Amino acid sequence: MLYIVPTPVGNLEDITLRALRVLKEVDLILAEDTRTSKKLLQHYDINTPLRSHHAHNENKAAEALVEQLQGGLTMALISDAGTPGISDPGYSLIKACVTASVKIECLPGATAIIPALVASGLPCNRFYFEGFLPHKKGRQTRLNVLAELACTFALYESPHRLEKCISQLISVCGAQRKAVVCRELSKMYEEYYRGSLLDIQQALLNNQLKSKGEIVVVVEAKPKEKKQKKYKS
């Protein structure tokens, strides 16, 4: 059995009782960064063996892990924060387990995208999740696609690329498109900065909005074009 276990994106209390039980009962925990995960495990007095499983080794490690799972071991896959596989390592192992008919259970739990969407104040009955934009190749293409969406969209961005991201969004969406920058969700300095893309750009330039911590950018849908009334001559 492979358990996919979401972990808190900030506040350590944002973990389910079931997740804590699973992490204590499995034979092995696979962690994106063992140093980060040890803080969570020590906080809850969990002493299960820990092994590194990150983006650089997951493809090579998947086959060996599947063999161990087929041999009877139970494992829990966690990332540094949130749900594994959502802009985090995990897909390769999950795919390998599905192919090998290894049973998988994914626990519900923490992720940054849903709180950001709900608290943004923008419509979230339908939305598009982009994850991280490509750093270079293909980035402009993805921005052009996002600008044309007829629903709210959200993306993750790193602090040192936030200003560039907002500038690029202005170029494809227009300066007045409504957006929200969600920062440090569930942590002490949690912040939501709401306004137009231009407002957000100015806030960053004036240090009213800090580009620090984990960031989710939520942007409203492309405005519907007003139909022109036809007048009979």
Residue 166 pLDDT greater than 90, yes or no = yes
**Where among 85, 106, 127 does a domain terminate?**
106
Cα within 13 Å of Cα(115), Cβ side: 20
CA 83, distance to chain mean position in Å, is: 8
Count of domains observed in the chain: 2
Which one of 106, 132, 166 terminates a domain? 106
Whether the model pTM is above 0.85: yes
Q: What per-residue confidence (pLDDT) applies to 231?
A: 60
Identify the band that residue 228 occupies on the pLDDT scale cut at 50, 70 and 90. Answer: low
pLDDT in tens, 167-203: 999 999 999 999 999 999 999 999 999 999 999 999 9
On average, the pLDDT of the chain sits at 94
For the record, the structure tokens of 128 come out as 């598009």
Domain boundary among 72, 106, 140: 106
**Per-residue model confidence as pLDDT tens digits over 55-73:** 787 778 899 999 999 999 9
pLDDT for 230 equals: 62
Of 87 and 144, the structure prediction assigns the larger pLDDT to 144
Q: In the prediction, which pLDDT does 225 show?
A: 78
Mean pLDDT of 128-133: 96
- Cβ contacts of residue 128 below 8 Å, gap of 6+? 146, 149, 151, 152, 153, 154
166 is a domain residue: yes
Q: Are residues 119 and 80 in the same domain?
A: no
